[in-house]
């Protein structure tokens, strides 16, 4: 069954909506018997010194109909501003082929290939108009399947046209930014270790896990900085992407685990977890394994694979489920403390605990909302030259969340969990009676 222009338009819109600017390292890809009418390879922010290089080899086109016209298959660049015009052309003419559009920057068609058996082509093209472009392959030949080896290389020239920068114009600041944040977390870790050392009697197991979280966060940022640096300079990550994904996985699992354990009061209020709290951890950790697997597939392959959209959907769904799951233990703790406050006669202490848990609940909700919704909105609306702003906002939000959480549950002799002021006991009883502390 052939795909209509409207289905092509839907695929085009979906891919461009989901895809963030890639790190654009040099990629060698193999397309095998692919019948898709449109394949998205890269999305890249070019300056006035931008270049795109495409090399194809071992090209073959199989069709159940007559021999396909080679001019109906080719590579082109498309800016987001021109996307709507191309979609209108597709809607107005059911037989319209996107390679004929005046709104695209056509690089070459299969008519330019060398004769068989090599069937190859290799050329670099300057980008004369600075903008964010998507590199596409279009197949307008009906009932045809394409097999080919593709090498893509997109970059901007820096330092007067002498140095290639393989990071998009809006992300070239990432190596320095990630390295700066890693230094901040190293300093954070030193302060936390000093605080734990000065309050040895009040240190619990959760504080050691929190220290481990800081270590993983710092290592994750260092590897992210090195990964982006080597991509920026050479076009390949030199193995730093592997370390980045390893530390990112450990860091994310530790973060969700710490939030759940702190939210249940483990190690502060009680040395054990209830069955329902254990089940939350048993759900969240495997889901994070799946989410990180999806993240690796998305980051290391790219939109050209057939299941790329599916992996994006898996990552989004799993992330939402995990974010919802870690909220439940905090709510359970608040309700449990609310019930306890009616019977144990320790109003001031319970009021302090309830206040702390409620504040923590608000902080967690704010952090999840900002990093999942506000950051995505920034990434969507920011000009391509300022894509780094969304990354900086995400890191600043994470740092603020860590600072607040670590301050609230720091090791001190008179932690808010254990505050008991006899003079305020009656006032606390009144507050508990008037304030339901229900969420």
Report residue 296 as tokens.
Answer: 């690796």
Distance between CA atoms of residues 378 and 383, nearest Å: 9
Please report which residue ranges of 135-274 form alpha helices under DSSP H.
174-198, 205-234, 240-264
User: Helix or strand or coil: residue 152?
Assistant: strand
- Residue 142's contacts (CB-CB under 8 Å, 6 or more residues apart) are 2, 63, 65
Report, as ranges of residue numbers, the positions in the chain whose pLDDT lies below 50: 1-2, 5, 416-421, 424, 437
Residues 6+ apart with CB under 8 A from 88: none
Cβ-proximal residues to 358 (8 Å cutoff; 6+ apart), any chain: 334, 437, 439
> If 0-12 CB within 10 Å is exposed, 13-18 middle and 19+ buried, where does residue 350 land?
buried
Instruction: Specify the pTM.
Output: 0.83
Q: Start-end ranges of CATH 1.20.1070 in the chain?
A: 174-434
CA nearest to 75, candidates 56, 47, 51: 56
- For residue 306, the tally of other CB atoms under 10 A from its CB is 11
What is the distance, to the nearest Å, from the Cα of residue 429 to the centroid of all Cα atoms in its chain? Answer: 46
Tokens of 177: 């930014």
Tell me what pLDDT residue 401 has: 95
In the prediction, which pLDDT does 343 show? 60
pLDDT value, residue 322 = 81
Model confidence over 44-61: pLDDT tens digits?
999 999 999 999 999 999
CATH of 174-434, one of 3.30.2170, 3.40.1000, 1.10.1200, 1.20.1070: 1.20.1070
Residue 11 has what pLDDT?
A: 56
Q: Give me the pLDDT at residue 434, please.
A: 56
Question: Which element (helix H / strand E) includes 84?
Answer: helix 80-92
* DSSP label at residue 203: -
CA distance 154 to 157: 10
Contact in structure between 108 and 18 (CB atoms under 8 Å):
no
Cα(24)–Cα(42) distance, rounded to whole angstroms?
Answer: 7
């Amino acid at each position: 069954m052939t795909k209509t222009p409207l289905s092509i338009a839907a695929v085009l819109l979906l891919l461009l909506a989901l895809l963030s600017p890639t790190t654009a390292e040099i990629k060698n890809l193999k397309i095998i018997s692919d019948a898709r009418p449109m394949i998205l390879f890269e999305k890249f922010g070019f300056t006035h010194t931008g270049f795109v290089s495409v090399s194809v080899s071992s090209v073959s086109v199989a069709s159940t109909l007559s021999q396909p016209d080679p001019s109906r298959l080719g590579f082109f660049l498309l800016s987001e501003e021109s996307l709507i015009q191309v979609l209108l052309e597709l809607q107005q003419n059911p037989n319209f082929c996107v390679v004929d559009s005046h709104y695209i920057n056509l690089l070459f068609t299969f008519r330019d290939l060398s004769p068989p058996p090599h069937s190859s082509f290799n050329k670099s093209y300057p980008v004369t108009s600075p903008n964010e472009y998507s590199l596409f392959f279009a197949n307008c030949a009906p009932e045809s399947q394409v097999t080919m080896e593709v090498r893509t290389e997109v970059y901007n020239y820096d330092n007067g046209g002498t140095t290639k920068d393989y990071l998009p114009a809006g992300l070239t600041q990432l190596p320095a930014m990630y390295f700066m944040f890693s230094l901040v977390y190293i300093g954070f870790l030193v302060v936390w270790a000093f605080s734990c050392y000065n309050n040895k009697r009040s240190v619990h197991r959760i504080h050691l896990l929190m220290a481990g979280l800081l270590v993983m966060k710092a290592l994750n940022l260092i590897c992210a900085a090195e990964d982006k640096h080597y991509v920026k300079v050479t076009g390949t990550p030199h193995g730093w992407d592997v370390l980045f994904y390893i530390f990112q996985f450990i860091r994310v699992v530790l973060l969700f685990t710490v939030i759940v354990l702190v939210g249940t009061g483990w190690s502060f209020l009680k040395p054990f977890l209830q069955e329902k709290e254990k089940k939350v951890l048993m759900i969240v950790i495997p889901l994070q394994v799946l989410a990180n697997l999806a993240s690796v597939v998305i980051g290391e392959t790219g939109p050209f694979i057939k299941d790329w959209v599916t992996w994006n959907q898996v990552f989004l769904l799993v992330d939402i489920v995990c974010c919802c799951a870690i909220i439940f233990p905090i709510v359970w703790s608040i309700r449990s403390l609310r019930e306890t406050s009616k019977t144990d006669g320790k109003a001031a202490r319970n009021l302090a605990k309830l206040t702390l848990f409620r504040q923590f609940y608000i902080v967690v909700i704010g952090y999840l909302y900002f990093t999942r919704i506000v950051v995505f909105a920034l990434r969507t609306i920011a000009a391509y030259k300022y894509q780094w702003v969304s990354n900086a906002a995400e890191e600043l939000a994470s740092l603020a969340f860590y600072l607040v959480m670590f301050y609230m549950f720091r090791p001190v002799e008179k932690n808010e969990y254990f505050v008991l002021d006899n003079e305020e006991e009656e006032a606390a009883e009144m507050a508990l009676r008037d304030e339901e502390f229900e969420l």
